[in-house]
Amino acid sequence: MAKQIHLTVSDRIGEQLAAYSARTGKSINAIGTEAFLSLFEKPKRPQEAAFTFIDLFAGIGGMRLAFSRQGGACLFSSEWDAYCQKAYFDNFGDMPVGDIRAVDEKDIPPHDVLVAGFPCQPFSIAGVSKKNSLGRATGFLDKTQGTLFFDVVRILNEKRPKAFLLENVKNLKSHDKGRTWDIIMDALQELDYAVFSMVLDGQIFVPQHRERVFIVGFDRRRYGESVHFDFHLDPPAEKKALRDILEPEVHEKYTLSDKLWTYLQNYAAKHRAAGNGFGYGLPDLGGAARTLSARYYKDGSEILIRQEGKNPRRLTPRECARLQGFPEDYKITVSNTRAYKQFGNSVVVPLVTEIASLIIEKMNALDRACKAGKD
């Protein structure tokens, strides 16, 4: 819930605020909020940081955890959802900026890596304007305008980080018969980045079948044309099973009511009779679960845990956090409903950590090669 604060300022400061508001198009309230948030910012680029990154469409910070584990310092984050902002602040001490569409790309600090789990929105080339985009009659800014991917594109174009990692649902590649994917690839390559992509399953690292597409890019203007990258992951020697993430004792409130359990069984039977595969999931505790989704809060039907002598139960929020590979010290400071949505929308942290390791290893090798070439 938003809280109102009333401040009295001098005439001079009031005039300066009004002038800044007119120049930037930001409201006085937005300017004040940004000023207060700056009080909580950490020093830019700590000396011990191996590299810097920004965290766009940050959610609750799964990507941040991954890149921080590689020695990176996060210089900027953006997330519009107020409950995710709260979770992010409670765990990292940074309050993400809200709507990235309202952020001028010139105001974002220089960084080495851009990280973004951008939402997938419909792309349309129909009605592309004939404005001059970066010297082109049409171009990537035109084709992606009106989508949140556009904000990734404009920041990449302005700041030119050494590398980026983008994450999205597997179906992004087939959306709109592949046209959405083609626009994304064309846009990134038009920006002069060497682009690599792969669909990876989080089941390599956690007991959950979760396929996502990952897109990695390196700046060709900095590193040249012959950049190669391989998604060669190093899975853990011992793989966790679903039982390994379960809490030993769980409150009765997570057990399904008789009414809900009867409904789910009848619903599944109806779809089986029709030849469909819809229904609840009761996974083998020695294996992996289905994909945890943002709708898990509704009935928990995709992942239910068997219980002896009573109805099955939902996962707890902490178990959902573990299913996504979040560390035990990650604070859950929102309601169960919000937590289910947040973890269902998040990333498999160990998987992204491994990808981050590969990106930083390649980036460092490219930097060394560039330095050697100049010496």
Active site residues: 120
Spell out a b/e string for 74-108, using b for 16 or more CB atoms within 10 Å of the CB, else e.
bbbbbbbbebbbbbbbebbebbbbbebeebeeeeb
d(CA 354, CA 232): 9
Please, are residues 306 and 312 in contact by the beta-carbon 8 Å criterion? yes
Residue 223 tokens read as 């590193």
Q: Which amino acid is at 50?
A: A
Please, are residues 347 and 339 in contact by the beta-carbon 8 Å criterion? no
Numbers of helices and strands, H then E, in the chain = 13, 8
Residue 84 tokens read as 């995710």
Q: Is 18 helix (H, G, I), strand (E, B) or coil?
A: helix
Alpha-helical runs (H) found in the chain: 11-24, 28-38, 62-68, 82-92, 140-144, 149-159, 179-190, 220-223, 258-273, 296-299, 317-323, 336-344, 349-374
Please, are residues 320 and 340 in contact by the beta-carbon 8 Å criterion? yes
Contacts of 253 (CB under 8 A, 6+ apart): none
The total number of residues shown for the chain amounts to 375
Alpha carbon 288 to chain centroid, angstroms: 23
DSSP code of residue 136: B
Please, are residues 82 and 133 in contact by the beta-carbon 8 Å criterion? no
Taking the alpha carbons at both ends of the chain, their separation in whole angstroms is 57
Please, are residues 332 and 339 in contact by the beta-carbon 8 Å criterion? yes
d(CA 157, CA 108): 12
Q: Is 113 helix (H, G, I), strand (E, B) or coil?
A: strand
